[in-house]
Amino acid sequence: MTSTFEFSAQFGGRDAADAALPHFKALKAAALTCSLRDFPFNSLAFILRVDGNINSYGLSGPGNIDCDGDNYVSVDIGVSRADYTDGSTQLVGPITTALRQSVELLKQSQDVRLRDVDFDQLEQALSDLCESYEAIIDT
């Protein structure tokens, strides 16, 4: 079975959207070029939660795993205002670090479907995703 990467976002204000929207679009484009083999869900979804001047989500890095049947497992990727106060170009590092760190969070999950995941393969797929995202955002 081949599974996909998916991205959605929640912006905490206009400032958050202005800073993170180009990254969100680049992540969605990168996700079209990468996939996972033998993953127990149809997709691994990431939700960017970007703090802004209206709402703050209180998360920096990966957190909040949610599993929905066989459809998806999602991981929140928190982005604090400090991550982009000097410009949105700073977001590449925090986002790629959080994507890579999400593997450790998934390893610790109590969901039985994640017990047999090949985490080395998942790390490689996320590395490929991060490289594709970095190439797209740099153009």
| Per-residue model confidence as pLDDT tens digits over 51-95 | 999 999 999 999 999 998 879 999 999 999 988 876 666 899 999
Q: Name which of 19, 9, 1, 4 is nearest 81 in CA terms.
A: 19
Within-domain flag for 139: no
The predicted structure's pLDDT at residue 6: 97
The whole domain housing 115 covers 2-134
Condensed to tens digits (0 to 9), the pLDDT of residues 105-119 reads: 999 998 999 998 999
**Which of the pair, 84 or 120, is modelled with greater confidence?**
120
The SS3 call for residue 50 is strand
Domain tally for the chain?
1
Within-domain flag for 17: yes
Phi and psi (nearest 5°) for 56?
-125, 135
Within-domain flag for 68: yes
Bridge partners (DSSP) listed for residue 35: 4
What pTM did the predictor assign?
Answer: 0.93
